[in-house]
């Protein structure tokens, strides 16, 4: 791996660039059956034998639900501007339809007010995958009715909290919910049916557009957008087969979501590829999906290399990889942002997730996670590169604040800049967190030298 840019070589970002850390409800909250919360599809999925690598569940996770104030202090101690979190739909509406659960709403109200009291901007995600299980019983995201249930949920959350939220994201990573949840079945709800998966992607996009319209109609002043997991997809070789597979994978991962959102159409080559598995639509759906957004969130972890020979293993090709086996490829982030900016008329973008799992060791109260620190600093440099070339970027959020429940990998994969000892729930800042805090301090010092020296005095 190349050496990371030392702090003083990282450029100065604009004063209003937003620095944050991110989490999601199911991955950290625990309290799975408390205070009236209903089960989510992930609560149910975890109970199926063999689907989670370490047979774990989200029952306790980081116990964040019970440690809210201490965790908010932890976030504040990092000196970030923003915290990206998600609301658990079944915590605020246990069955996904009908009655609202007051203790659930009150929890998020405490979270938001606690952030504001500490000077941190709340970035709220409505759907980070934990659909109420009761809705799955009637078809989940494969059923068009769930679209309207989601709009109700969005308007309720916004009515309660919207006056204090900087930005609301409708969905986190629709590709993951559709493809991993409904085509490969690796993630909840564990369905393996491509026609269902494409229908799910259409309903997610439609519910996003309709929720935006409903929130604006009720006067919500938060900035509204969606978060996509995107990556450059490159062919392993120059062969026609590899080129064709790369084009197809790019179509399914990037264009399938970006084209309807920003060009009001699904890509023709992918519709043709899907054939009878293409989604059923109603008149006006594409117009609704393309409802203008205030921002686009991009989650970036690695590039994808497409090969007709099957899975392309970066490690076997001598590339640096993380503990997930994902290639460390920061320049892919610059390439991706330039391409999006070139191909689409976009609102400002945020990097809403970026980070890495590595095998950490907690020794004498310290975690020397140099690889994670280097990963983060090199990706921040990649964002700066894109900005230098004219791309409008407004923020960067590290995934993740805490080690947490990494979906089908369970607790074995650690993405946090803060270490969590799951036996004691002790939090320990890793070196990457100390580095991020210092990097942010230096950024602010460049922007407001007087203020920082006064604070230090
Ligand atoms: C993303 C998810 C997030 C986390 C990271 C590693 O796909 O949005 O919850 O699991 O990957």
Model confidence over 36-94: pLDDT tens digits?
999 999 999 999 999 999 999 999 999 999 999 999 999 999 999 999 999 999 999 99
Average pLDDT score over residue span 302-324? 97
The set of protein residues with a Cβ atom below 6 angstroms from ligand 1 is: 24, 27, 172-173, 176, 229, 299, 353, 399, 406-407, 415
Give 456's pLDDT tier (boundaries 50, 70, 90).
very low
How far from 74 is each of 109, 268, 418, CA to CA, in Å? 18, 48, 9
Tell me whether the omega of the peptide bond preceding residue 400 falls within 30 degrees of 0, making it cis.
yes
Q: Return the best residue to mutate from 406, 411, 413 for the ligand 1 pocket (most ligand atoms within 8 A of CB).
A: 406
- The pTM of the full predicted model, rounded to 2 decimals, is 0.97
- Indicate the fold that domain 18-446 takes in CATH: TIM Barrel (3.20.20)
CA of 87 to the centre of ligand 1 (A): 15
- Both tokens of residue 269? 């080559």
Are the C-beta atoms of residues 226 and 293 closer than 8 Å to each other? yes
Give 11's pLDDT tier (boundaries 50, 70, 90).
confident
Question: What is the tally of helices (H) and strands (E) in the chain?
Answer: 18, 12
Residue nearest to atom 9 of ligand 1 (CA): 24
E strand map for 131-206: 167-172
Rounded to the nearest 5 percent, the helix, strand and coil shares of the chain are 45, 15, 40
Q: Assess whether pLDDT exceeds 70 at residue 6.
A: no
Cα–Cα distance measured from residue 11 to residue 5, given in angstroms and rounded to the nearest whole number? 10
Q: pLDDT value at position 5? A: 63
- DSSP secondary structure letter of residue 46: T
Average pLDDT, the chain: 96
Q: Is 353 a catalytic residue?
A: yes
Q: Single out the catalytic residue among 29, 335, 353, 406.
A: 353
Q: pLDDT value at position 457? A: 40
Q: Assess whether pLDDT exceeds 80 at residue 246.
A: yes
The ligand 1 atom at the shortest distance from the C-alpha of residue 27 is 9
Q: Is 173 a catalytic residue?
A: yes
Cα of 436 vs its chain's centroid, Å: 19
Q: Assess whether pLDDT exceeds 90 at residue 446.
A: no
Average pLDDT score over residue span 346-374? 98
What are the structural domain ranges in the chain? 18-446
Q: Assess whether pLDDT exceeds 60 at residue 453.
A: no
Q: Assess whether pLDDT exceeds 60 at residue 455.
A: no
Q: Which residues contact 310 (CB under 8 A, 6 or more apart)?
A: none
Q: What percent of the chain has pLDDT over 90?
A: 95
Cα–Cα distance measured from residue 139 to residue 200, given in angstroms and rounded to the nearest whole number? 10
Average pLDDT score over residue span 155-162? 97
Average pLDDT score over residue span 179-187? 98
Q: Assign residue 351 a region (left: φ > 0; alpha: ψ between -120 and 50; beta: otherwise).
A: beta
């Amino acid at each position: 791996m190349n050496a990371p840019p030392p702090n003083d070589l990282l450029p100065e970002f604009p004063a209003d660039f937003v620095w944050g850390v991110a989490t999601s409800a199911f991955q950290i909250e625990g309290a799975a059956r408390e205070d009236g919360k209903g089960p989510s599809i992930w609560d149910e999925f975890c109970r199926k034998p063999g689907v989670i690598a370490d047979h774990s569940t989200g029952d306790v996770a980081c116990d964040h639900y019970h440690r809210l104030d201490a965790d908010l202090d932890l976030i504040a101690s990092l000196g970030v501007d923003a915290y990206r979190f998600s609301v658990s739909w079944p915590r605020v509406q246990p069955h996904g339809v009908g009655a609202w659960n007051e203790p659930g709403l009150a929890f998020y109200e405490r979270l938001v007010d606690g952030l504001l009291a500490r000077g941190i901007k709340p970035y709220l995600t409505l759907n980070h995958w934990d659909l109420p299980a009761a809705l799955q019983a009637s078809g989940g995201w494969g059923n068009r009715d769930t679209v309207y249930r989601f709009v109700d949920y969005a308007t309720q959350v916004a009515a309660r909290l919207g006056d204090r939220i900087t930005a609301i994201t409708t969905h986190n990573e629709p590709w993951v919910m559709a493809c991993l949840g409904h085509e490969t079945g690796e993630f909840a709800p564990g369905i393996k049916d491509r026609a269902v998966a494409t229908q799910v992607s259409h309903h997610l996009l439609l519910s996003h557009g309709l929720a935006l319209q409903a929130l604006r109609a009720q006067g919500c002043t938060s900035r509204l957008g969606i978060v996509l997991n995107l990556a450059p997809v490159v062919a392993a070789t120059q062969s026609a087969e590899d080129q064709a597979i790369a084009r197809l994978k790019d179509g399914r991962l990037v264009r399938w979501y970006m084209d309807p959102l920003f060009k009001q159409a699904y890509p023709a080559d992918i519709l043709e590829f899907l054939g009878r598995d293409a989604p059923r639509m109603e008149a006006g759906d594409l117009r609704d999906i393309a409802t203008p957004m205030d921002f686009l969130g991009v989650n970036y972890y690695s590039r994808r290399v497409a090969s007709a020979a099957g899975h392309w293993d970066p490690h076997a090709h001598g590339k640096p990889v993380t503990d997930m086996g994902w290639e460390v490829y920061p320049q892919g982030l610059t390439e991706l942002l330039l391409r999006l900016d070139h191909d689409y008329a976009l609102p400002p973008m945020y990097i809403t997730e970026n980070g890495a799992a590595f095998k950490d060791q907690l020794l004498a109260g310290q975690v020397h996670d140099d690889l994670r620190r280097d990963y983060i600093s090199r990706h921040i440099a990649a964002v700066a590169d894109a900005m230098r070339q004219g791309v409008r970027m407004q923020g960067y959020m590290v995934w993740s604040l805490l080690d947490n429940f990494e979906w089908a990998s369970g607790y074995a994969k650690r993405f946090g800049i803060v270490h969590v000892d799951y036996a004691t729930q002790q939090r320990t800042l890793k070196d990457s967190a100390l580095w991020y805090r210092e990097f942010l301090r230096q950024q602010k010092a460049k922007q407001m030298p007087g203020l920082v020296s006064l604070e230090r005095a």
